[in-house]
Each structure stands twice: as structure tokens, then as C-alpha cells.
Chains A and B, each alone.
Chain A
Amino acid sequence: MSFTVAKGETVGIVGESGSGKSVTALAIMGILHPAARVTSGRAVFGGLDLVAASESQRREYRGRELSMIFQNPRAALNPIRTVGRQICDVLLRHANLPRVQVRPRAMELLARVQIPDAARRFDAYPFELSGGMCQRVMIALAIACAPALIVADEPTTGLDVTTQAGILDLLDELRRTTRTATIVITHDLGLAAERCDRIVVMHAGHVVETAPAHRLFTHPRHPYTARLIASTPRPGAKLTELTPITGAVPDLRGALPVCRYRSRCDRGTDACDEAPLPRIAVDDGHVVACRFPALT
């Protein structure tokens, strides 16, 4: 799979679980499980190939230039260290701040992610905060050093919509003021629609469609994208209108068909089994990996 993110751009990666969204992010961050290996390809960041880089080069980048917001905040935070200390730790390691400014700066970060009465929650342990509060602490950690690229894996699933809007505004402000590039991995298509410039749709490890955000949701061309949209709850919709995607992501361990959506697709023909998988530019910046793009 290939995609690029420019300075100040927000790209959304959407798809079901098992489609490879999180693995892509972890590969970029160079923190894949030791058993996993990036077999080929590059992730070039400001000129440095992160896949080829040494672990120490990558460590230098992570936290300062690159930061990640994880999917499961409770697991990503240290359970036996107060949240305030954890933010101070990051600032001490990467921020180059005079020591006396570390604590006030950490406090300010907690307030920026909308933890009410931040000063008095500074010494709380993660278990003493709600799920969404832990998520916001992690966001504070991720933005502590004004990174050049933030990879956010489901950054706001545990947040109510008003807090979510506030946090996304904050990320947006970073994008505008420090030209931070953001990769948002999400299955919340509504969020992706409102907050991303461009969307990359993944299925079973392939990019099946990529388009400017608004266009993707108004004119989806890959049948999988259309199914994803139909399985998303809309305001006022009834449960009966909600249709799950039939079939399952194919087992990635075996031999795979040319089009990995083939077994789930109701429009496939024998021509779909012919390699290579086409990548058709249907519009400006809109590419679809389907031999028979849907008409919309």
C-alpha cells in the first residue's frame, strides 16, 4: 500500500478491523511487535526512511517529531505513575524546557485537553480517571512536543461528541499553527468526513479507494466503501436501515485472490480474477482499485 501525507494535511485511514489500518500505523512508527517484519517498502518521513532507520534513530524521532495516539488509552498509560508525572516525563525527555517550566507546562497541557480542574487531577492515577479522560491524557502526551506528524489510532472513540469536537479543534489548531501532519485511523466515517482532507479506504491490507473526503462520501466508487457507509448509523436512522457488510475479511495467511474483496462482492465477474488489480483514476485525486467502479 502507498499513500502520502503533506505538512499540515490530515489523512484518514478507514476500514474494518483486520483491514490493516493499525498495522500500517505501527509500521510507520517502527514499533511493530518483534515477530512482525516490514517485508518491503518504505515509510519516508522528512527524508528519513523510517523502515530502514536504526532503532535509535527512530527512538529519537518518536515522541519529538512523530507521536502516536493509541487505541486503548488504559493500556498505553503507565498504571502506577500519576498522569501528571507521565506528561512531565515526556517533556523532560524531549522538550528541552527549563526544569521549572516542566510542571506548569504539563498542567497547561492537561487543561488544553479539557480535563476540568486540571491542577487537582494532576496527581491522579489512570484508574482514578474515566475512560475518556485517560484518552485525553494520552492526547496531551502526543502533542506535548509539537510533533511534525501525529498518528492517531481511533483518537476519540471514548469521547462524547462535544468533547470530541474540542479535541479535534485542538488537533486542527496544531495543524494550522505548526503545520503538523496528521494520520487519523478510524472506523468513525462521520468523523473522517468532517475532519480529514483526504481518505484512504483499506480492505484486507489493500488500499481500495482514496479520494478527497467530501467526494468519497458523496460519490463512493468501490463497492466496499459503499457498504462501509451503509453500515454507519446516521442521525435519526432506524436499526432496520443499518446493514452489516456481508462476509468476512479473507484470511490473510493463505493464497489471496487478486481482488481481496472478491468473495464479499455482489458485482464481481471472472474478469476480477485477472491480475493486476487495476487502479483507476476516476476523478481528480480519486483512485479506485476496482475493475467495475460503482456508478454514483
Chain B
Amino acid sequence: MVMNYMLSEEEQMMVETARNIAVEKIKPVREHYDEKEEFPWEIVKEFAQADLCGVYIPEEYGGFGKGIMGLVLVVEELCKVDGAIALSLAATALGTLPILLVGNEEQKKRYLPDIASGKKLAAFGLTEASAGSDATGMATTAVKDGDYYVLNGTKCFITNGGDAETYTIFAKTNPSKGARGISCFIVDKGTPGFEFGKKEKKMGIRASSTRELIFKDCKVHKDNLLGKEGHGLMIAQATLDNSRPGVAAQALGIAAGALDEAVDYARKRVQFGQPIASFQGIQHMLADMATEVEAARALLYASARMIDSGTSKRTSKESAMAKLFCSEVAMKVTTNAVQILGGYGYSREYPVEKMMRDAKITTLYEGTSQIQKNEIALNLIKESAAKAK
């Protein structure tokens, strides 16, 4: 049985809908998309049709209005079956959050309904070749020219790159000001001067596209500036506070899926004349895995509820904790699932090797585990210093 997290009727509805899609629509094709590294458009259509694309978007913009918790529940459920296909939706949320958080009314009305309905996907463009963990190292510039900003530079590793229609892009409007010289823009696919570069070949999450975005004298109207000039880094940080639970949910879903596979296999596989599930060595592994998955879920749901309650101005620490813990658990649990399935676990005939490959990304993007720890520690110290005053 699963623990009772007092999900509302509508939250249960989202879980059920996501599960139906995962089991009926995704499971039969997950290997195909992993092998072929194709973008899962047929599944995106299913997400759209079932209203899953807008679960976190307020109802006034055509969404289902269920906040970060809604996003978390849907992503977790989808990722139990496949940790990559759900990214079309989860990375769209990452790309959409800057608009949701700081967009003006006109921008929200212009962009959110099409994203909520699943007509358009979004992407988030922060990382560059020499600006990974340290976003302030970015070289992309946006120079004001009349009513326009002219963008030049190259973003790399952008999820949904090439497949999304709407991009939130970070660029330096005032390079001399460092962290305070970065701004955020909405850039539409098809804007002259905006092209796509190479697509990454990856270890896991192969159904998700990861591309370079290339800006060459790309003119973006000033109406597409998000928030104020120079507020870009703050917007990125606020976005990550809200989006990291989404990565945590991806990690949790993958871990929970791997745990199910491992238990099921252990009951059926017979060695030395008995099911391997009867060996204490296997039982203790399964017990640890199950306990870690449940602890991860409890921490994640608590963080998501805290964000949605809006009671705390910043939730950097809690989001980072959820992401750190869930992603490290995902790595441990999927590795052990492969161990429990033995040689079969290593074979592509069983889903756990893919789960292990997919899980690894969650300790890397939207800040590596080291960066999450930096964030948590920084906030601990700040909180303690504030108390000491």
C-alpha cells in the first residue's frame, strides 16, 4: 500500500490520469523512443488532450491550477514508467515558470494559454559552454537598439531545444555589472537570427531532445523582456526554486518504478531452489530502497506544499533538499534494482538499466548535487546569522 499523503480529490484525479497515460500509452513505446532518440510527439498529444500540460498553470490562463504539487504528482507518476518522455512536459514547466513568476498580464495572456493546452512546448535557456554551475559566466549578450534587444551568443544543453516554440533566454544586458547585468527574454521559435545547433547524444533520457540555441543578431522586441532589466539572475533563481521539485519528482518516479520492478523480479526469480526474495541479503536491499523512496516522497511533497502555500518568500533551501535527496535516492535505488535483477538487469530486455541511465541526469541538471548542497548550506548559515542578530 502507498502511504496516505491526504491528496485532494483533484490531486488523485491528476495521478490517475497520468498513470493511465503512462501505462496505456507510454509503456508500449518507451523502448522505441529510447532506442531511436526521437521526440515523443504522439505522447505529447496525449498529455495535451488529457489536460496534463497545464496542471501547474492557473485556471484563468487555461490551466488546471494545481501548483507545483500538481506538477510533482504528474511527473512522478509518468516517470514511474519512463523518465524521459515526461520531460517534454516537465522542461516546458521550467521554461514557463519565468513567465508565470514575473511576466506581466499581457505576456501571461499571450503565452500561457497555448502552453496550458499543450499546443506549444517551452524551454529554458540559461547554460552555456563556459557557464554551467556558474551562470554568471555567460557570454550571450542582449544589446538595446530602439524598441528591440539584439541577442548574440550560444546556449547549450537546452532541453526541448528545437522542439519547443517558446524560449525563456538569459543574456547579459550589462556585462560590466556581472550578476546584476543579466536579463531574461521570451524568444519565439522562428524569430530571425535564432537557430538550433547540434543535438546531444546522451547516456539516458534519450527521448528528450537537448540542443544548442544559437543567436546571431537576433532582434527581440522589448515587450518580450521578462521582469526588469538586470533582474535575470534573480528570475533564474526564483525559477529554480519552483522547478527543482519537478526534477525531484522525475527522480522519485524513476526510483519508485525501479523498486517495483525489483520486488516483482525478486519474487519470481528462483535460485538455489527458492525465490531470491527469500534471501535476507535481497530483502534488506529492498527494505532500504523502499524506505528511501518513501522518505524522498515525504520530503518532496512537503517542499511542494510549502511552495504552493506561498507562506515563505523563498524556498531555495527546501527545493534544493528535495532535489538533492530524491536524485541521490534515484541513483542508489536504480543501481540496486540492476543488482537485484543480476545479468538480466544489465540487459536491455528489462527496463531497469534504462532507469539507471535516466536517473543519472537528475543529480546533474538544474544544479548538480554539489550545487544543491551549496544552496542548502548558504541558507542554513543565513538563517542562523539572522537569528543571531
Whether chain B is bound by chain A comes out as no
* Interface residues of B, Cβ cutoff 8 Å to A: none
* Interface residues of A, Cβ cutoff 8 Å to B: none
